[in-house]
Structure 1
Amino acid sequence: MKKNKIIELLGETILPGESKTIDVEIAKLHTMTKLKVPVIIERSKIDGPTVLFSACLHGDEINGTEIVRQIIRKKINKPKIGTIICIPIINIFGFINQSREFPDKRDLNRVFPGSKNGSLASRFAHFLVSEIIPKVDYAVDFHAGGASRFNAPQIRIAPNSPELKELASVFNSPFTLYSKNISGSFRNSSTKLGVKMLLFEGGKSLDLNDMITEDGIQGSKRFLAHLDMLNPKLEAILKNEETLFIEKSNWVRANFSGMFHGLITVGSFVKKGDVLAMISDPYGKVEHKLKAPNDGYIINVNDAPIVYQGDAVFHISTKLESQS
């Protein structure tokens, strides 16, 4: 735990008990218009951990932005002890363009730790790793499914980390997937710098979903309560159901091209052979059944109306942690 009586962040000082919003300017638009990324900081008068809530690393994953927005709006980010940093929109360029990538067409989540003199995305990654992450002890980074694929609310953590497993249990989304850190990712670079990060996945790109938002908010409150940081005016709602830890999972792919008619809702448990979807031609002549290859939970569904043969359409668990 980093116990600095005075926090220096982005060239500014944040004293105990102080609230501050720092507008970070990384680059301008091609019109010379300034783009600023607000970093919202709340410090308690009592020393404690520093937690980061971040979203919109991919500019079209706006449900995470809504979760962090409500964390701020509901004053969940005003800690009992320690410091909470909120960045509702990391990829401001993609958010404006409703695009996953940066204007240089790079995926920000594949260029970490970045470079001070590299591409635009690389420079922003370097800023996060050099200026923000060294001040952080714990983090929750909010994401959503891409390409019309809707994720059930879930936490992703690296395997073989008892502390991350405990934090995932505390956050208590319906599912927790063991997922190795990907080279070039924000999570990978943060882990190397000693940050305990949970990656939240829920919903799909360019979409807001109340159920996903509520799961992210309530999980964040439980996360903060576990660290004894939750504002005493707020209550963390506990759930009776425990998160299901998924060791292995596979994508079910479309067996034909055509119009896609999904029959199973995300989060459902299916048995091997259950019909997950129908794929039809547009002319009323052909319908193909797509069946579950095994028993498991559906943790992602494709909402696209048209699919091509080989498209990933359902993500299904194949092994739970409790199974042998």
Structure 2
Amino acid sequence: MKTTIPKELIILGEIILPGESKTINMDIAKLQTMTKLKIPIIIERSKIEGPTVLFSAGLHGDEINGVEIVRQLITRKVNKPKTGTIICIPVLNIFGFINQSREFPDGRDLNRVFPGSNTGSLASIFAFHILNEIIPHVDYVIDFHAGGASRFNAPQIRIVPDDARLRALADVFSAPFGLFSINISGSFRNSCTNLGKQILLFEGGKSAHIDSKITKVGIEGSKRFLEHLGMLSDKHKTTHPEDKTIYITKSSWIRAHSSGMFHVEIKINTLVEKGQMLGTISDPYGKIEKNVKAPNSGYIINVNDAAIVYQGDALFHISTQLEND
């Protein structure tokens, strides 16, 4: 016999009952005009017992594609669970979102100040409240990100190595690529892990840009994730990709050896051979053109879309070792 969810779900002093839909505003800081700046937290609860999942995005304010994924989960009502509770926070860094900036107004990267402090910098205060007011209530987190600057990421799930539970969840999400990467000190992912939460980090697209294909991968993966947990409403159908996730254990950046105008010759997601032409860097006067070639065979999982690059800029992210190689 199915039981109801315990009624004692209290977030930021608000009680959310089983079967209830509620939007709670996290009100921590104000603009210089003294206007309150609120972070909407959208909560949907089933009357049936189950886990709690958090879908979050906008930790970096200019990574819009993740915000779009969570927005569509809400508008399509994917966030209305068959069992359990789903919490959606489309924009964690509301300051950065307004200013279209990666950082907080204090110049700090919110994803490097966790677990934060209630008496620290503005970013640190936000991190403290997110970690102490929201995360204790959740079991699973999917945090959506995009490539920085003009660097376009292939859709991928990042997990820590040697964690069988996360690997199983990444298999369920079924992104084209999976990257094993250690948690970075001060990151949201690291703090969630330290609190015993299972977290997947999704990367796809680039900052200040929305890509429909990336959005679709994020939405379909999230639906498969919820279906696996028994939380996806019967109103929603899932699709399963024919190809399994390609897991990358090691990768490296191919950097520009000179400055100039950058012309990409290869598509993202492509498996390339060592020595294959990836692009060219030329001067604007038609005298110099230098080839950029693959230093090894591997998958191209990030491409720099910038028209002009400087020496040392990251141009391509390429796999150097796959799982079971």
| TM class, shorter-length | over 0.9
Matched, 1:239 2:238: no
1:322 aligned partner, one-letter code = N
What root-mean-square deviation, in Å, do the aligned CA atoms of Structure 1 and Structure 2 show? Answer: 0.7
Matched, 1:120 2:122: yes
1:59 aligns with 2:42: no
Given candidates 227, 230, 238, the residue that maps to 1:228 is 230
TM-score (structure 2 length as normaliser): 0.98
Tell me the distance in 2 between the aligned counterparts of 1:154 and 1:260: 25
After TM superposition, give the deviation of residue 147 of structure 1 in Å: 1.3
Where does residue 144 of structure 2 map in the other structure?
142
How many Å separate the matches in 2 of 1:158 and 1:73? 31
Partner residue in 1 for 2:86: 84
Match of 1:253 in 2: 255
Given that 1:51 and 1:83 are in contact with CA atoms closer than 8 Å, whether structure 2 keeps it comes out as yes
* Helix, strand or coil at the partner of 1:214: helix
* 68, 71, 82: which one aligns with 2:70: 68
Corresponding residue number in structure 1 for 2:109: 107
For 1:305, the equivalent position in structure 2 comes to 307
Find the aligned partners of 2:84 and 2:57 in 1 and give their Cα distance.
Answer: 21
- CA shift digits 1:200-225 (9 cap, x unpaired): 00000000000000000000000000
Partner of 2:156: 154
Contact 1:5 1:47 in 2 (8 A): no
How far does the alpha carbon of each residue in 1:213-241 deviate from its partner, in whole angstroms, 9 at most, with x for none? 00000000000001010011101111111
Structure 2 counterpart SS, 1:21: strand
Residue 272 of structure 1 aligns to a residue whose secondary structure is: coil
CA distance in 1, matches of 2:62, 2:313: 21
Distance in 1 between residues matched to 2:116 and 2:245, nearest whole Å: 34
Same amino acid, percent of matched pairs? 68
One-letter code of the match for 1:157?
I
Q: Which runs of 4+ in 1 moved over 4 A?
A: none
The whole-number CA distance in structure 2 between the counterparts of 1:10 and 1:241 is 42
Question: Aligned partners of 1:68, 1:147: CA distance in 2, in Å?
Answer: 21
State TM-score, norm by structure 1.
0.98
Q: Which residue of 2 aligns with 1:198?
A: 200
Q: Contact 1:6 / 1:16 at 8 angstroms: preserved in 2?
A: no
Measure how far apart 1:250 and its partner are.
0.3
Is the contact between residue 139 and residue 198 of structure 1 (CA under 8 Å) also seen in structure 2? yes
Residue 185 of structure 2 is matched in structure 1 by 183
Letter in 2 for 1:172: S
Structure 1 gaps of 5+ residues are: none
Separation in structure 1 between the aligned mates of residue 7 and residue 50 of structure 2, nearest angstrom: 10
Offset at residue 265 of structure 1 (A): 1.1
How far 1:107 moved relative to its partner? 0.1
Give the match's secondary structure for 2:153: strand
SS at match of 2:182: coil
Q: Is the 8 A contact 2:7 2:16 kept in 1?
A: no
Pick aligned residue for 2:323 from 309, 315, 321: 321
